[in-house]
Copies of this chain bind each other. A is one copy, B any other.
Amino acid sequence: MKTLILTSDDTRAIVRRVGLDAVMDEMIDRITTTLRTYDIHETVVPVRAGFHYETPTIGLIEWMPIMRNGNRTTVKIVGYHPRNPTDYGIPTILATVSAYDTATGHLVGLADGTFLTALRTGAASAVATQHLAREDSKVVGLIGCGAQAVSQLHAISRCFDIEQVLIYDIDDSVLRSFPQRISILGLRRAEVGVADTAAILAESDILCTATSVDVGGGPVFSDGQSKPGLHINATGSDFKGKVEIPKELLLRSLVVPDVLEQAISEGECQQLDGDNIGPELHDVVKDPERFAFAREQRTVFDSTGWALEDHVALEMMMHYAGELGLGTEMEIESISHDAKNPYEFVANHVAISTNHTPE
């Protein structure tokens, strides 16, 4: 039984051949469709768990499993190590995603989860923004301009006509490199400018936070003047105690978590009582007219990152790989012809390699 392995070269070849914009558009479409048809009885998504530690470095490794009943099980295993860029020159988030056949337990496929995490987190924000921001939103603010900010801006730019991008990061070099990093996004009309967080809050129609703020170090900006229809995508929270958005602003906003239980445990919703938390994103996507009023209000998408999004992303990449004939099929599990003999291969080898007499 073969496992389809997509190397990073395969992932990149898919994106190059399909086109970065087309891949993001497809990701946004698939997440929208998946949320619209999401049925809690058909999909089992436990709250993710993981190892959190401070030695050898501050970090976590989490497993994010999901099962579509009678179909596939997907597991993303994701590391979050904020010192990776400075210590090793590698991304903060490293991840792989694997899929299993629920009928047999067989490992069906394995692929990169690093690019996929950026892609699906951006796409999820785009879906939230399409449903919760004003349709004429033109100014995007970015607080935290690392890897995730690139795909946030990309995804939003696929759905809105962006005229201005206001950026802030605690690291000047990250700010300086940002225009180059988004140069392929085709935001020719958009002017990119550095601003302080107060100005970004005041001027943005759509604000994305994507920081590696320390536990207890948030929020990453102070409450202040903001547009009445401001929509925020808060994507950085993924630890107990790590938050990005001022509580007072949350209390004045409709807060929409991706998945409530996880958001209460490690998202912006940590700061809120249940009464102050709005519907989950899938509720909004299922009934957009009911929530159309929210476009004119302040809204916050509390994006903690959902295994369902990873499942959709892996399915999409495996679909593309099939269409394009990419990926390597390898047999990983040691499966005997005789299911009840784990040592069969040893005996067969003896029979093949030696010319022994019948016993």
Residues in chain A within 8 A of chain B (CB atoms): 1, 5-9, 11-12, 15-16, 20, 44, 46, 49, 51, 53, 55-57, 59, 61, 63, 65, 67, 69-70, 73, 75, 77-81, 84-85, 88-96, 98, 100, 102-107, 110-115, 118-119, 145-147, 150-151, 154, 174, 177, 181, 183-185, 328, 330-347, 349-350, 359
Closest approach, in angstroms, between the C-beta of A122 and any C-beta of chain B?
A: 9
Partner of A333, one of B5, B8, B119, B349: B8
Q: Which residue on chain B has the smallest CB distance to residue A181?
A: B341
Q: With the chains together, A230 CA to B160 CA distance in Å?
A: 74
Residues on B with C-beta less than 8 A from A342 are 91, 114-115, 118-119, 147, 150-151
Q: List 5 A-B contacts (CB under 8 A).
A: A57-B103, A79-B105, A90-B339, A114-B342, A174-B340
Q: With the chains together, A65 CA to B16 CA distance in Å?
A: 35
Q: With the chains together, A113 CA to B344 CA distance in Å?
A: 16
**Among A65, A154, A343: residue with most chain B CB under 10 A:** A343
Partner of A95, one of B9, B333, B350: B333
| Given A12-B345, A77-B75: A90 touches B53 (CB 8 Å cut-off) | no
A331 close to B7 (CB less than 8 A): yes
**Among A91, A104, A118: residue with most chain B CB under 10 A:** A104
A105 close to B85 (CB less than 8 A): no
Residues on B with C-beta less than 8 A from A115 are 334, 342
Given contacts A77-B107, A90-B106, list 19 more A-B pairs with CB under 8 A: A5-B332, A7-B331, A8-B335, A16-B345, A16-B349, A51-B73, A59-B104, A75-B77, A79-B104, A81-B103, A84-B105, A85-B339, A90-B335, A94-B105, A94-B107, A150-B343, A183-B347, A184-B346, A328-B330
Residues on B with C-beta less than 8 A from A85 are 339-340
| Given A100-B61, A114-B334, A334-B8: A105 touches B89 (CB 8 Å cut-off) | no
Residues on B with C-beta less than 8 A from A333 are 8, 94-96, 112-114
List the number of copies, as a whole number. Answer: 2
Q: With the chains together, A346 CA to B184 CA distance in Å?
A: 8
Q: With the chains together, A267 CA to B292 CA distance in Å?
A: 52
Residues on B with C-beta less than 8 A from A347 are 183-184
Closest approach, in angstroms, between the C-beta of A53 and any C-beta of chain B?
A: 7
**Among A78, A79, A105, A337: residue with most chain B CB under 10 A:** A105
Q: With the chains together, A59 CA to B69 CA distance in Å?
A: 12
B16 close to A346 (CB less than 8 A): yes
B181 close to A338 (CB less than 8 A): yes
Q: Which residue on chain B has the smallest CB distance to residue A65?
A: B63
Partner of A340, one of B78, B147, B331, B340: B147
A8 close to B78 (CB less than 8 A): no
